[in-house]
Amino acid sequence: MKIGIIGAGKIGGTLGPLWHRAGHEVFFGSRHPEELTALVAGLGARASAGTPVEAAQAGEILLLAVPLVAVPALASSISAHTSNKVVLDACNPYPDRDGDAAAVALRHPAGSAGWVASHFPKARVVKAFNTVYFKVLQAEAHRGGNDGVGIPLAGDDPDAIAAAVQLTRDAGFTPVIVGGLEKGKLFEPGTAVYASGMKGSEVSAALGVEAATGMREGKTT
């Protein structure tokens, strides 16, 4: 699978190598792709870097891992390349960093995930990978067996959720399906599961959803 990673910072720069290790092709998109030379060279074949537009064009599935305040301007440049694609939204609203954008996003009826999705109206958005500190992702990938670190997921499209579940497993974590996109409000900053490092079963219990099914053997490429 070709994954376009828009934002190669702490989250994108951590998940990209995990997905690459699972057999996927990764394309990192950054405003400064020249700074990703060492990352790409270290991964080798099936890894590339370029602009956010190039990453959006290349990816069959996209990970959006940028500061929330950057979303409107980014959408204006890449939304034409996101039609019918699964977009994993790892953005978080931080008022001290994102200012008015965070306030507006938090007031959206479907929370910050709904606000992000409103900028990509033709994409299939899934809230994902926004709750776990990048150092925890690095340390805990593929640990914990069927009950590893839990990654809550929220989205309205069943096929998009299925893709997010598989990529969560491929990265080495336990997916927890929480519900429709508006349920992303349940795992924004300040909620019980945010930055907790909880196992999948613990996330499930905290959010009152069915226990995660755990990681499957095998990889999707």
**Predicted confidence band at 210 (pLDDT cuts at 50, 70, 90)?**
confident
* 2-207, CATH topology level: Rossmann fold (3.40.50)
Give long-range contacts, CB 8 A cutoff, 24+ apart: 37-44: 39/8, 39/13, 43/16, 43/17
Q: What is the rounded distance in angstroms from the CA atom of residue 173 to the CA atom of residue 41?
A: 25
Helices (H), the chain: 12-21, 37-43, 52-58, 71-78, 95-98, 100-107, 111-118, 134-140, 158-171, 200-207
% of the chain at pLDDT higher than 90: 93
Q: Which of 194, 196, 176 is nearest to 185 (CA)?
A: 194
pLDDT band at 221 (very low <50, low <70, confident <90, very high): very low
Whole-angstrom Cα distance, residue 200 to residue 202?
5
- Three-class SS state of 182: helix
Antiparallel, parallel or unpaired: β 150-155 and 25-29: unpaired
Two tokens at 215? 């990681």
Quote the percentage of the chain above a pLDDT of 70.
95
- The residue written with tokens 């702490």 in the block is 10
171-190, pLDDT tens digit by residue? 999 999 999 999 999 999 99
Cβ distance 72 to 119 under 8 Å?
A: yes
Residue 215 — φ and ψ, nearest 5°?
-90, 140
Does 64 score more than 50 pLDDT? yes
Mean pLDDT across the chain: 95
pLDDT tens sequence across 74-98: 999 999 999 999 999 999 999 999 9
- pLDDT of the residue at 214: 41
Taking the C-alpha atoms of residue 88 and residue 124, their distance in angstroms, rounded to an integer, is 9
Q: Put residue 214 in one of left, alpha, beta given phi > 0 → left and psi -120 to 50 → alpha.
A: left
Reference 203, options 157, 159, 154; nearest CA is: 154
Q: Indicate if the pLDDT at residue 216 is higher than 60.
A: no
Handedness of CA 149, 126, 59, 76 (dihedral sign): negative
137, pLDDT greater than 70:
yes
CA-based torsion, 184, 156, 151, 41: positive or negative = negative
pLDDT of residue 91: 98
